Structure 1
Amino acid sequence: MSEENWRGPQPSFILVRPQMGENIGGAARAMWNFGLDRMRIIEPRDGWPNQKAVAMASGAGRLLDEALIYENAPDALADCNYIFATTARHRDLTKPVMTPERAMEHARALISQGQKVGVMFGPERAGLENEDIARANAIISVPVNPEFASLNLAQCALLMAYEWRRQNSNVPPEVVAMAKTEFAPDIEIQKLGDHYEQRLDEAGFFYPEPKAISMKLNLRNMWARMPMTRADVQMMHGMLRQLLRKKD
């Protein structure tokens, strides 16, 4: 994904009355890990700028330089068309409650229509207050251990940023890391099967004779099931040759 696409339309992460500079920096770092760079901060407890935040942000310090600072929530949320509130408690308010996956899916749909989306994160000690949550259109609730539902600010930001990035990328769910080799073509697998079948036949492995056909078929099937690389095939040939040398 190009730099331009990474920094395309995206939600704003809004930190409401954060208490520790380290957590602000950690949130910035989490955001930038997944290509997000629009941070808003409401009433940071220890003032702004904050050197502890800068130190914790490490290579994501630019996000803090460009962060928008607000004195109150109404100003920070004024231009947002849709607002999410992250909280472990629903506070008896009637609102849609979404998982991070569903919330970022909805955010993507809204943003594609030209709307501005904000995601609020509460202060570390007690989270968002009822007044904050009442301003939100929907709640994001992370399915955590109900006996220990408290998430660190940066952890919560990381979860949301990850879900946003995951749904906006074409990264395959699984790949194989090739170590200076490539998968063996079918012809090489067939030749390996021929080699083993010949040597096993010479050793009298395919016994009794009525079962020889099915035994050879099962062996061929085994080779075909194995995702072998060219290095694997060469090693298997070498193993068999060495065993025969030792026998001789």
Structure 2
Amino acid sequence: MSKTKTVKDQMGRVVEQPATSAPVVVLVRPQLGQNIGAACRCMLNFGLTELRLVSPRDGWPNPDADSMAAGALPVLQNAQVFDSVEAAVSDLTYVLSATARRRELEVPVIGTDVVGPQMRTYEAAGKRTGILFGPEKAGLTNADVVLTDAILTYPVNPAFQSLNLAQAVNIFAYIWASSADQLIPDLFDGSRSEVAPREDLTRLMEHLETELDAAGFFFPAAKKPLMAQNIRAPLTRAKMSAQEIRTFRGMIKALVKGRGEALLKIRRARGEDV
């Protein structure tokens, strides 16, 4: 017997819905409260209920979002607010970025025909998923995209790629709802370790970047953001296990310690006080 959950519809009536896990929608630096409210309405129409906001421009809560949310106020009222994308996706295993712009990054692109079943496969295995949508004016930055596992691009008119934020959310929500009962089997799922929590991956990235900065790797300084993105992208694609991340961090610590001991020997050989 399938599990259900009790919810109230927009008329206040108690109804039963399947208690299935679904992707998290993350709006990154959204600008207009109306678009946030409209996105909530689109989400609930197709069974998505978890909204996360990263640094909304006009603060939160925003009264402009209420009227556009209509009967989807529970989604709006339960929205979580984060200061960074890293924090917003820290507990997610598989994250997409919704963008139509070409990128200079080596990030895989996933099609609309397989994204629903792919995410359902993760969710069915107990692995949380999510998707990032960027701000209305400029969309996601490369720094946002490198924190995700793949790019989702809609087959829009190449001569006019201009979707409203809520429209973009609505398309994904529809794709999710229409992919019910379609799972993609992973033949290799049982042959490898679980992917590490994303917050562990973020700590590894920050650890590596800190030590590279101390070693003078990021030169010239103006290129540091791009260089850091090029480091983060392959680390995200690798889908490392917790043990692999611990190994990498141990390697970084060993290199730092070895560099320090080598410098100490050089200073001693020069007769410097140490």
TM-score (norm 2): 0.59
Partner Cα separation in structure 2 for residue 19 and residue 97 of structure 1: 26
Q: Secondary structure at the match of 2:81?
A: strand
Q: Which residue of 2 aligns with 1:101?
A: 113
- Indicate whether 1:16 and 2:31 are aligned: no
Q: Which residue of 1 aligns with 2:168?
A: 156
Any residues of structure 2 matched to 1:199-214 within 5 Å, and which?
none
Q: Deviations over 1:191-229 (max 9, x none)?
A: xxxxxxxxxxxxxxxxxxxxxxxxxxxxxxxxxxxxxxx
Q: Given the alignment, which residue of 71, 79, 95 partners 2:83?
A: 71
- Indicate whether 1:143 and 2:138 are aligned: no
Contact 1:15 1:121 in 2 (8 A): yes
Partner Cα separation in structure 2 for residue 7 and residue 17 of structure 1: 30
Q: Which residue of 1 aligns with 2:266?
A: none
Q: Which residue of 1 aligns with 2:242?
A: none
Partner Cα separation in structure 1 for residue 129 and residue 47 of structure 2: 16
Identity %: 42
Aligned residues: 170
Partner Cα separation in structure 1 for residue 181 and residue 117 of structure 2: 12
Any residues of structure 2 matched to 1:1-248 within 5 Å, and which?
5-168=17-180
TM-score (norm 1): 0.65
Q: Deviations over 1:12-55 (max 9, x none)?
A: 00000000001000100000011110100000001111111111
Q: Deviations over 1:131-166 (max 9, x none)?
A: 000101000000000011121110011011001111
Partner Cα separation in structure 2 for residue 28 and residue 90 of structure 1: 28
Q: What is the Cα deviation at residue 6 of structure 1?
A: 4.3
CA RMSD, 1 decimal:
1.7
Contact 1:7 1:36 in 2 (8 A): no
Partner Cα separation in structure 1 for residue 58 and residue 92 of structure 2: 26
Contact 1:15 1:41 in 2 (8 A): yes
Task: Output the amino acid matched with 1:50.
Answer: N
